[in-house]
């Protein structure tokens, strides 16, 4: 009878140990899953922060910078800054405006803009254009014109833009 009790106790102890191992394994699995979920959430939040912060930074190239890095830019879209030269604005049709912008080193880029320009668009006004170079030419195809209409930009970046008459803005 003692052997049966010992065997029964050993069997009970083995069952308790198996149950304990199952519980421990289930806890480890749950912790592993939680770590994986938290890692994925942290990765998603990091990606969203990166995209938000990177998208909030707006870069543009001046006429001089764009021409000096023409080969690197290829036909990729970027923002281009310059001053609309006097007597260069023409409207070949109702939805297109052609004009020339200049930079501080007397470089020029011919621009074709598709769409209606803003009301403040005129000669001798600093603009930022969104678009790309056309093929291997130095013609810039734009689909958006942003007009600089505040003196605070010029005050913050003196000497960056030179008007066609040679004055620095």
Please give the pLDDT value at position 1.
Answer: 47
Q: Is 143 within 8 Å of 114 (Cβ atoms)?
A: yes
Please give the pLDDT value at position 5.
Answer: 47
State how far the alpha carbon of 103 is from the alpha carbons of 16, 56, 90, 142, 159, in Å.
83, 25, 20, 17, 11
User: For each successive 10 residues of the chain (169 residues), what is the average pLDDT?
Assistant: 51 74 88 94 91 71 92 91 94 93 90 91 93 93 85 58 61
Q: Which two tokens stand for residue 114?
A: 């598709």
Please give the pLDDT value at position 130.
Answer: 94
Q: What pTM did the predictor assign? A: 0.58
Please give the pLDDT value at position 87.
Answer: 94
Please give the pLDDT value at position 100.
Answer: 97
Q: Is 83 within 8 Å of 163 (Cβ atoms)?
A: yes
């Amino acid at each position: 009878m003692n052997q049966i009790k010992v065997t029964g106790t050993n069997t009970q102890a083995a069952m308790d140990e198996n149950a304990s191992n199952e519980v421990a394994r289930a806890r480890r699995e749950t912790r592993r899953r939680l770590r994986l979920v938290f890692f994925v959430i942290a990765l998603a939040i990091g990606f969203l922060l990166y995209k938000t912060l990177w998208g909030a930074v707006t870069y543009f190239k001046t006429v001089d910078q764009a021409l000096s890095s023409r080969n690197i830019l290829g036909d990729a879209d970027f923002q281009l800054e310059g001053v609309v030269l006097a007597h260069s604005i023409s409207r070949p049709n109702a939805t297109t405006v052609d004009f020339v912008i200049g930079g501080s080193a007397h470089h020029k880029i011919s621009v074709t803009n598709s769409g209606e320009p803003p009301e403040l668009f005129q000669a001798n006004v600093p603009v930022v254009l969104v678009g790309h170079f056309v093929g291997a030419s130095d013609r810039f195809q734009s689909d958006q014109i942003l007009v600089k209409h505040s003196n605070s930009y010029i005050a913050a970046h003196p000497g960056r833009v030179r008007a066609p008459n040679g004055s620095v803005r």
